[in-house]
Amino acid sequence: MATSPNPTRNDFEALLNESLGGAEGGFEGRVVKGTVTAIENDFAMIDVGLKSEGRVALREFSMPGQKADLNVGDEVEVYVDRVENMNGEAVLSRDRARREAAWDKLEGEFAAGNRVEGVIFGRVKGGFTVDLGGAVAFLPGSQVDVRPVRDVGPLMDIAQPFQILKMDRRRGNIVVSRRAILEETRAEQRSGLIQNLAEGQIIEGVVKNITDYGAFVDLGGIDGLLHVTDISYKRINHPSEMINIGDTVKVQIVRINRDTQRISLGMKQLESDPWEGAIAKYPVGARLSGAVTNITEYGAFIELEPGIEGLVHVSEMSWTKKNVHPGKIVSTSQEVDVVVLDVDMDKRRISLGLKQAQANPWEAFAEKHPVGSTVEGEVKNATEFGLFIGLDGDVDGMVHMSDIAWGISGEDALHLHRKGEMVKAIVLDVDPEKERISLGIKQLEKGAPTAGGAVTSSGLKKGATVTVSVLEVRDGGLEVQAGEDGATGFIKRADLGRDRDEQRPDRFQVGQKFDAMITGFDRSKKPNFSIKALQLAEEKQAVEQYGSSDSGASLGDILGEALKSAKK
């Protein structure tokens, strides 16, 4: 600034402001060195070479978790925010100085990918705050450790390494990770430790964590997985049944995957294998006892001895209960008797039968109720082909619709009985292998024919002529009975006479008696009668006795002679 030879008061003031303002104004926004001139209460007075000293809080000189170590005469770096405030003091900041210096250093470390040292000193939403030598960084909760940490207290206020994940100086954001350091360290340790391990090696470790599928065992810096199926030969539902966190266990290294650095461990491999010699101990057909350990939809597992279980398939659980959940037949921990059905040593499977250890109810029924005996039971169900009757031993017998009643169709016979009704029946056949019992209800009727071929117990045989009485007149024919207490049978409409005008059921009345011929027996041994067959037989006999094909006599003449002879 140019000045006149005789400066005025204004010129002198401008020169002074230029001198002081120019020099002191250059301090603002910079980190400078100063000297501690005094410590008053919680503040330190710092002289940085300005017109006036600045006041800085002592806490700005302390690290998180530590007290400030500051004395008069110490030289410190501070940030000059303003040369002079309203009180005439310089506005200084130790935090800003440390932050600016820290940012410069951190940017270099971040670019080089180096670790930085910091201290966790606070908790914020979603994570924690970390002091990186003056710069404050954010530590997400997921980046604290390789596993979730419930209590971070022991990790706070302790200097430890971190990895910078992200930096934005313009926004003042720094994101760090402690987990990345741990994973890198663990990987280095694992690589070194895994070289000293071999499959089949027996080693001790400490149980660190337990899950539903197994336990993680610390082998001295490297973890191995002890799967639940390798803890014991016997069935266990959860690893906690055998081990607890903190237990020292002896394990065998089953498998090492050096590419993924995963180690599989086993405890049961240190015990004797119970399956050795199992085929000799459990021969097919042997009757054994065991406890139910597990129930599924397809069957139940039975423990024969610790480490050996057999499966009873649902189809082998009961003789009579079909399509029933195994849980309705047996319960967990129940002692049951079983029979060995099959042993597969390669797959380590034993098939067992529960029903085979019990008497076959169909065989028992056949011994107690032979064919021809009478039984009584409740109608359990009616189908389109017959009735199912509940019998002794929790078995069912079937009455085919043709064996329900005489003289009516099977469809009509099905409507004669209802579910829940108690009925009596005759045992017609028992097949234990097919689990079938055939019954008959109509065979109990008085005079009903029984097994024995064409000749029955009532003396009826095919071709015999008997006197029958009409029991019922129907459109399709007549229901008749042989003799007073004989077997009942049916005469079809076409068998009521040789001529069409004779084949009318309405020309007969209930109680009317006439002769008819037995033409055979149906499936249920019920006789079939025919008037037409009798007429034809009589005509044939008359022709043979009273005429011939060349005699010239008419059929009427021959029958007349036969009738005269019959009257005499």
Q: What are the residue boundaries of the structural domains of the chain, listed by start?
A: 27-112, 113-183, 197-270, 292-357, 370-444, 465-546
Give residue 75's pLDDT: 79
Would you say 256 and 191 are in contact if contact means Cβ atoms under 8 Å apart?
no
The pLDDT > 90 percentage for the chain reads 18
pLDDT of 549 reads 45
For residue 26, pLDDT beyond 60: no
The pLDDT of residue 216 = 92
pLDDT at 78 (0 to 100): 74
DSSP strand pairing (395-400 vs 436-440): parallel
Asked if the model's pLDDT at residue 6 lies above 70, the reply is: no
- Domain 27-112 is in which class? mainly beta
Q: What is the mean pLDDT of residues 208-217?
A: 91
Q: Residue 147 has which token pair?
A: 């596993």
Sequence-separated (6 or more) residues with CB below 8 Å from residue 19: none
**pLDDT digit string (tens) for 382-427?**
888 889 999 888 888 999 988 888 767 778 788 888 888 899 999 9
CA 316-318-320 angle, to 5 degrees, is: 130
Same CATH fold, 465-546 and 370-444? Answer: yes
What does the block give as tokens for 401? 């619709």
Q: Yes or no: is domain 113-183 CATH 3.40.50.960?
A: no
The Cα–Cα gap between 172 and 96 comes to 12
The CATH H-level superfamily of 465-546 is Nucleic acid-binding proteins (2.40.50.140)
In the chain, the largest separation of any two C-alpha atoms, in whole Å, equals: 195
CATH domain 370-444 topology: OB fold (Dihydrolipoamide Acetyltransferase, E2P) (2.40.50)
What's the whole-model pTM score? Answer: 0.44
CB count in 10 Å sphere of residue 395: 20
Contact 427, 395 (CB under 8 A): no
CATH number for the 197-270 domain, one of 1.10.3720.10, 1.10.10.10, 2.40.50.140, 1.10.10.60? Answer: 2.40.50.140
Number of other CB atoms surrounding residue 431 within 10 Å = 11
**How much is the pLDDT for 299?**
92
Dist CA 480 CA 497 (whole Å):
15
Q: Which CATH architecture has domain 292-357?
A: Beta Barrel (2.40)
Q: What is the pLDDT of residues 473-515, one digit of tens each?
A: 888 889 888 876 677 888 988 999 988 888 899 999 988 999 9
Strand runs (DSSP E) across 178-259, as ranges? 202-211, 214-218, 223-227, 248-257
pLDDT of residue 446: 59
pLDDT at residue 559 in the model: 55
For residue 63, pLDDT over 80 is answered with no
> For residue 450, what pLDDT band results from cuts at 50, 70 and 90?
very low
- The per-residue pLDDT of the chain, averaged, comes to 81
Q: Which of 192 and 103 is assigned the larger pLDDT?
A: 103
